[in-house]
Chains A and B, each alone.
Chain A
Amino acid sequence: MLKGHLDAIVLAALEAGPAHGYAIIETIKNRSTSTFDLPEGTVYPALHRLEQAGLLSSTWITPPGGRRRRVYSLTKAGSAALADRRKVWGRFSRAVDTLLGGRAWPA
């Protein structure tokens, strides 16, 4: 189920600012309090897919005294796509909440 939402999760992880693949995975783990502990490599096909779709852009940077890294950032289209997916998710989660809200359905 998580896989179907991975693209939106990656977009959300980049909302705060540009980041490289390892940092994105760490953000997802931390924000989900390790609920989403997916194989780290699965984020790279998503990053590539989103970049091909024009929702992300990437560039190599070398921080002073650090290792060269490919850093991803949201494009304008990526920010708009994230806003859209949030709306869709909001509607979906409210509907599921209503259905599974813990109260027995009227017979």
Chain B
Amino acid sequence: MAGVIDQYVASLRRELDFDPALARRLAGEVEDHLRDAAEADPAWPSADAERRAVERFGVAREIAAEFAADAVDRQARRTWVTLLVTVVVTFIAMRLRAMWLDDGAIPALAPLVDRYAFIAAIAVGAIGGFAFRRSPLAFTICLGGLLASIAAGMVRADLFVQGAPLPVLLAAAGEIALVGLLAFHVVGLSRRLKRTAALRGGGR
């Protein structure tokens, strides 16, 4: 039968399921800590000594919530950096399209969407940045603006794909890759926020 310390370490690993690498690393470290603490107890060896060590360590869910909150901060920083890089690359790609492509044969709306969806994305990003630093909704709206800009850019580039210069195609590929990465980070941020709320609120 598993001892008190083993049960506690197993429960901490379960609570840290949002980051399996951290859960593995911490399990060994916490077990060492708890065994040191139990061995320093006058009642060692006994289940009571292990129980007191576990009580002094704190509630597993609350400790996991601290880690989850830190993970949200890190994920928000990653998302912001990706967003900034995506905005810069999208802007460069947009300028390249304006300089190199002839828009005469494409729907008149495409260059407008290309430009104004990008501006809208920047505006939402700036407002979201100040007002909701970690809001997946602000990131998602911003992502939507960038996607619209990129899609319009594709319409412009596609019609000229035979003659599109290499820099235009490379910049478009960079845009698509970065938007994909940004979407991945936004989903990650949303999941981590939900997990932190669940750990703090007692849900799953």
A residues engaging B (CB < 8 A)?
A: 20-22, 25, 39-42, 44-45, 48-49, 52, 67-70
Candidates A40, A49, A68; contact of B70 at CB < 8 Å: A49
| Contact between chains at A22 and B33 (CB < 8 Å) | yes
Contact-residue size bin, chain B (C-beta under 8 Å from the other chain): 20 to 34
Question: Secondary structure at chain A's binding surface: helix, strand, loop or mixed?
Answer: helix
- Chain A residues positioned under 8 Å from B67 (CB to CB): 44-45, 48
Contact of B58 among A20, A40, A67 (CB under 8 A): A40
- In-complex Cβ contact of B57 among A41, A45, A49, A52 (8 A): A41
- Expressed in whole angstroms, the minimum distance between the Cβ of B201 and any Cβ of chain A is 18
The answer to whether B57 and A21 touch across the interface, beta carbons within 8 angstroms, is no
- Chain A residues near B66 (CB, 8 Å)? 42, 45
| Chain B residues with a Cβ under 8 A of chain A | 22, 25-26, 28-30, 32-33, 35-37, 56-60, 62-63, 66-67, 70, 74
Q: For residue A48, which residues in chain B have a CB less than 8 angstroms away from its CB?
A: 22, 26, 67, 70
Q: What is the minimal beta-carbon distance from B55 to any residue of chain A, in angstroms?
A: 9
Q: List 16 A-B contacts (CB under 8 A).
A: A20-B32, A21-B33, A22-B36, A25-B33, A39-B59, A39-B63, A40-B57, A41-B63, A42-B58, A44-B29, A45-B63, A48-B67, A67-B35, A68-B28, A70-B25, A70-B28
A40 touching B35, Cβ below 8 Å: no
Q: Are A70 and B29 in contact (CB under 8 A)?
A: yes
Distance in angstroms from A5 CB to nearest chain B CB is 15
A22 pairs with B56, CB closer than 8 A: no
> Once the chains are docked, how many angstroms separate the CA of A22 from the CA of B32?
8
Cβ distance B43 to chain A, nearest Cβ, rounded Å: 18
Do A39 and B57 touch (CB < 8 A)?
Answer: yes
Q: Are A45's CB and B70's CB within 8 A?
A: yes
- Top 7 nearest A-B pairs (CB, nearest first) are A39-B58, A45-B66, A41-B58, A41-B63, A41-B57, A22-B36, A22-B33
